[in-house]
Amino acid sequence: MNTTVLIAEDEPLMRERLLEMLATAWPEARIVKVAENGNDAWDGFLEHEPQVVFLDIRMPGLSGLEVAERIGKSAHVVFVTAYDQYAVDAFDSGAVDYLLKPVQAERLDKALTRLRQRLAAPPADMGDLLRHPRSALPGRAPERLKWIKASAGKQIRLIDVQDVLFFQSDTKYTRVVLADSEALVKIALKDLLGGLDGERFWQIHRGTVVNVTAVAAVERIDAERMEVIVRGSTERLPVSRTFTHLFRD
């Protein structure tokens, strides 16, 4: 089976370049997703669960480092960056390699050699990446959403984020479910994620983010599957394999 690869790069020409070079240097790789920003990269990762991700560090939305942190140990990460300021730290924290832009063919070959050697082994855990104090991107304290604006007919409803039981993705919209009502907002769940407090709102599925304080119980369906039961809602929310570790000891 071919190795599945995700690429995240915000500049079109650099994206094109990396794709072409990979096609030449590693024809047997299967590119499953080409993301244009950090949010797409994370969403694409959840959708396709690639084995390898190439992440630009400076991107709109989630930064490459933030995406790698979320990926944790679920894929091999190669950073691509114009400047090695953060990459060196990232490399220390378990990335397979980092490539300096513009990527040159010989350097890519070297990285791919390293990568192929590592593929057989489980990926290193990048989950602590941003806890490494030097790795944090300067001046990017994430701004938390306090209110969600949902239009209902002619009215605009203001929803306190804390009151939300869970968010569910509905293509380009997001379903916002509260104890007594629900609303549809015109913003993709992947773009909403960055504004939510990760301590309180857990992503349990590519399309679901749940308010932990509203979780009544988690039920094991079989060895792989789990479902979250939310207080104040009759819906049962499936937990995808990537996230079952959240509920294990």
Partner 1 sequence: MWSNIWSKFSGLYRALEEEQCQVLADPGYLESIKPGYRRRMAARLAAMPPLERARLLAFCVKYRGRPLWIKLMQIVMVSSLCALLAYGLFPQLGLITLLVVANVIGAGLVVFMLLVYFSHSMMFGKPVHLVIFMMMCASVGGIAGAAGGAAEKGFTFLQAMEQKWAVIIAATFAAGLLIAIPVTLMGAIRNRQYKKFNATLELEAERHRAAHELSESRLRLLHAQIEPHFLFNTLGAVQQLAEKGAPDAARLTASLIAFLRASLAEMRSEHVTLGADFALLEAYLQVMKARLGARLDYTLDLPQDLFQVTIPSMMLLTLVENAIKHGIEPSLQGGRIEVAAVAGAARLQLTVRDSGPGLGSAHGSPPGSGHGLANVRARLNLLYGDAATLTVDDGEECGVVAVLALPLNRETT
Cβ atoms < 10 Å from Cβ of 157 = 15
Nearest-approach distance from CB 149 to partner 1, in angstroms:
14
CB closer to partner 1 out of 60 and 232: 60
Nearest-approach distance from CB 39 to partner 1, in angstroms:
7
Nearest-approach distance from CB 160 to partner 1, in angstroms:
18
Report the SS3 class of residue 106.
helix
Nearest-approach distance from CB 138 to partner 1, in angstroms:
8
Contacts of 218 (CB under 8 A, 6+ apart): 226, 227, 228, 229, 239, 247
| Phi-psi sector, 155: left (phi>0), alpha (psi -120 to 50), beta | beta
Using the CB atoms, write b or e for 209-243: b if 16+ within 10 Å.
bbbeebbeebeeeeeeebebebeebeeebebbebb
CB closer to partner 1 out of 194 and 207: 194
Nearest-approach distance from CB 239 to partner 1, in angstroms:
27
CB closer to partner 1 out of 82 and 229: 82
Which positions touch partner 1 (CB under 8 A)?
10-14, 16-17, 37, 39, 58, 60-61, 82-83, 100-103, 138-143, 191, 194
CB closer to partner 1 out of 82 and 246: 82
CB closer to partner 1 out of 48 and 58: 58
Distance CA 148, CA 77 (A): 33
Cβ atoms < 10 Å from Cβ of 45 = 25
